[in-house]
Amino acid sequence: VSPVLRNVGTLATCRDAGGQGEVHPVRDAALAWRDGRVAWAGPEAELPSEWADAPSLDAGGRTVVPGLVDCHTHLAFGGWRAGEFVRRIRGESYGEIARSGGGIAATVRATRAAGDDELRELCRGRLREMASLGVTTVEGKSGYGLSREEELRILRVYRDVAGAALPRLVPTFLGAHALPPDFGGDREELVAEVAGEWTPAVAEAGLARFCDAFVEEGAFTPEEGRRVLEAGAAHGLTPRLHADQLSDSGGAELAVEVGAASADHLEHVSAAGIRALADAGVVGVVLPLAGLYLGQDPAPARAMVEAGVRVAVATDFNPGTAPSAHLPLAMTLACVREGLTPAEALKGATLHAATALRLEGEVGSLEPGKSADFALVDAPDVDHWLYHHRANACLATVGRGRLLYRSPGLAGAEGWEALAAPEPGAPAAGGSP
C-alpha cells in the first residue's frame, strides 16, 4: 500500500533547519509514503498528481507529528517498587533506600528471577503501550542483570522482541548501573570485569549499539565511568551517560571527553557542563518524570537551549525513579517545569532524540526518504496537544509505514487497518517488512 494521509490540520515536520523551537509546521497538509518511507510531505493543495488516485486516509483536521522517539528507557525489568514510592513519600531518600538493599538492587533480584519468556512479554507489552502513545522508536538499556550472563540475557531479550508490529528498539549496554546486590568484592576488580569481560562479550555478540554508566555517589565514580565507557567505545559501542542526576559530578564534561552521543538527566549540571555540551554538540537529555517522582528541582532545560545545546526529552521509564512510559506527559512536564515551549519539547522528543540515538538520518522528522513513522494526535496544533494533557490524545501510530496502534475512536477504520503489519507467519501482503 502507498497511501496518502489528507486533511492534516497541522503537520509538524520537525526538520533540522533552525533552532529547537522550529518544528516547521505545515497547515492543511498531506503526507504520502511508499515502501515504509516518506515520499512527500507538504500543503495538500500542492500534492503532486501522481498521488491523485492513491488510497487516502482522512486526518480529520488534526495534528500529525513524527513518530516520537523515547531515547532513554530501562525497558526490561521484573517486578515493581511501589513500596519504595511510599517510603519516599514518608521521607526516606532514594539513596537511603538503595543503601538499605532496595533501589536498583531490588529490581536486579526480581529481574534475575524472571524467565526469558516473561521478560519478553513484559517488554512487548510496554512497547505496545508506548506505541499507543505515539512512540515509534525506543532505546532500551540493560542494567538490571549486573552479571555478565544476566546482562547478555537482557540484551538478547531486546533482540528477540524486535518486530514490524512494534516500535523500533535500540539496545544500550548499562553494565555499570550499580554494584551487584551480592557484591562483596573489590570495586576495582568489578570495573575491570565490566570493561574487560562484559563489554567485549556484548560487542562480539552484536547485542548493543550504545554503552552507558551511572556516574553518581553510591554508584560509579567519574574515573570508573570513564574506564567503562572508553572500553565500550574501543569495542564500537557509542557512549551515553547518566550524568549529574543527584549531584554535579562533572558528568556532562565526562560525556564530552568520552565522545558520548548524549548526557542524560542533568538536574545538577553546572554552567561549565552546559557550555561543554554546547561546544561539543552532545545532546542533553532531560527526563522530567524522574525529577518529578524524586521531588527534585527541574533540570535547566531552558538554559541549555539558550546556550545552544540540543535538548532531547525522554521518559527514563524504570520501576524506581520513573514508573511511567508516558512520553507526551514527560513533554508536558518539560514545558511546565523546565521552561520549554511545546514546539521545543516536540523537537526534543523527535529529531533531537533521534540525534541522541545517532538515528537522525532515519527517523525524527517527516521528510522524503525518512522512515514513515508518525502519530496522529487529537488536537488542532502542537501547543494545544501538550497543553491539554489527556490519558491519551493519540489516535493512530504508524511505524515504517505499518499501523502500530489505532484508537477505538478513530474514524475510517478500514483504511487504517490496511496498514496493519501481517500477523507473524501470515503470507506477506506485498512490500517488505
Q: Find the shortest distance in angstroms from Cβ 144 to Fe ion.
A: 11
Residues with Cβ within 8 Å of 50's Cβ and at least 6 positions away in sequence, in order, are none
> How many residues are recorded in the chain?
433
Q: How far apart are CA 418 and CA 430, in angstroms?
A: 12
- Position among 20, 56, 111, 318 found at the interface with ligand NIG (CB under 6 A): 318
- Lookup: cell for 411: 474514524
Q: What residues from 334 to 393 belong to the interface with Fe ion (CB under 5 A)? A: none
Q: Find the shortest distance in angstroms from Cβ 246 to ligand NIG.
A: 8
Q: Find the shortest distance in angstroms from Cβ 214 to Fe ion.
A: 8
CB 152 within 8 A of CB 201: yes
- Position among 25, 36, 67, 103 found at the interface with ligand NIG (CB under 6 A): 103
Closest to ligand NIG by CB, 63 vs 321, is 321
315 to 322, 331, 344, 432: CA distances (angstroms): 7, 9, 16, 31
Q: Find the shortest distance in angstroms from Cβ 235 to ligand NIG.
A: 22
Closest to ligand NIG by CB, 139 vs 378, is 139
- Neighbouring-strand partners of residue 11: 26, 64
Q: Does 321 bind ligand NIG (CB under 6 A)?
A: yes
Q: Find the shortest distance in angstroms from Cβ 322 to Fe ion.
A: 7
Closest to Fe ion by CB, 32 vs 108, is 108
Closest to Fe ion by CB, 151 vs 316, is 316
Q: How far apart are CA 207 and CA 182, in angstroms?
A: 25
Residues with Cβ within 8 Å of 262's Cβ and at least 6 positions away in sequence, in order, are 71, 72, 240, 241, 255, 282, 283, 284, 285, 312, 356
Q: Find the shortest distance in angstroms from Cβ 132 to ligand NIG.
A: 23
Q: Does 107 bind ligand NIG (CB under 6 A)?
A: yes
- Position among 245, 249, 262, 355 found at the interface with ligand NIG (CB under 6 A): 245
Stretch binding ligand NIG (CB under 6 A), from 12-20, 226-234, 311-319, 350-358? 311-319
Closest to ligand NIG by CB, 245 vs 249, is 245
Q: Find the shortest distance in angstroms from Cβ 219 to ligand NIG.
A: 7
Instruction: Give backbone dihedrals phi and psi of 395, rounded to 5 degrees, phi first.
Output: -100, -35
Q: Does 320 bind ligand NIG (CB under 6 A)?
A: yes
Closest to ligand NIG by CB, 327 vs 419, is 327
Instruction: Give backbone dihedrals phi and psi of 25, rounded to 5 degrees, phi first.
Output: -75, 140
Q: Does 316 bind Fe ion (CB under 5 A)?
A: yes
Q: Where are the beta strands (DSSP E) in 283-424?
A: 283-286, 311-313, 374-377, 394-399, 402-406
Q: How far apart are CA 63 and CA 41, in angstroms?
A: 13
- Position among 242, 268, 310, 402 found at the interface with ligand NIG (CB under 6 A): 242
Instruction: Dump the DSSP string for 139-193.
Output: EEE--SS-SHHHHHHHHHHHHHH--TTS-EEEEEEEEESS--TT--S-HHHHHHH
Closest to ligand NIG by CB, 245 vs 371, is 245
Binding site residues, ligand NIG, CB under 6 A: 74, 103-104, 107, 214, 242, 245, 290, 316, 318-321
